[in-house]
């Protein structure tokens, strides 16, 4: 006796498999890292070291996730700049935190073009 899978079940499984595209996940993490780095730059310009630090930490998490999924030298450089920005924000140096975030942003944008 043959068992039949319902069409809805097959469509659901196909949808799940298509959503597991790792390239899309990397792009999402890079896009989020860029967004958070931009916010950190703006916070730095406004003299808000704590806010810049929050955005930089979020950007670093996304950059690390993107690098874990697909290594890229630009992501590694961005992470180093983000770490510097975190240190500056912890010392209350909003402008320097923003500048380090801006440098990280340059690398993040280069990483986007590399894929």
The predicted model gives 86-92 an average pLDDT of: 98
pLDDT of residue 109: 93
pLDDT of residue 67: 93
Rounded CA-CA distance 69/115 in Å is 12
Higher pLDDT, 114 or 115: 114
Side-chain-side CA neighbours of residue 67 (13 Å): 18
Strand, helix or coil at 39?
helix
Average pLDDT, the chain: 85
Contacts of 8 (CB under 8 A, 6+ apart): none
Domains and CATH numbers, the chain: 22-114 (1.20.120.660)
pLDDT of residue 112: 84
Residue 76 has pLDDT above 50, yes or no: yes
Going by pLDDT thresholds of 50, 70 and 90, the confidence category of residue 114 is confident
pLDDT tens-digit profile of 7-27? 444 445 434 444 555 556 667
pTM: 0.78
pLDDT tens-digit profile of 12-71? 543 444 455 555 666 789 999 999 999 999 999 999 999 999 999 999 999 999 999 888
């Amino acid at each position: 006796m043959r068992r039949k899978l319902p069409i809805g079940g097959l469509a659901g499984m196909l949808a799940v498999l298509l959503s597991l595209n790792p390239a899309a996940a990397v792009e999402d993490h890079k896009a989020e890292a860029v967004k958070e780095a931009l916010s950190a730059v703006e916070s730095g310009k406004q003299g808000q070291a704590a806010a810049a630090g929050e955005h930089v930490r979020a950007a670093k998490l996304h950059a690390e996730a993107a690098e874990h999924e697909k290594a890229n030298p630009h992501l590694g450089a961005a992470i180093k700049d983000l770490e510097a920005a975190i240190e500056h924000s912890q010392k209350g140096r909003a402008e320097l935190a923003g500048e380090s975030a801006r440098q990280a942003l340059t690398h993040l944008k280069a990483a986007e073009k590399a894929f």
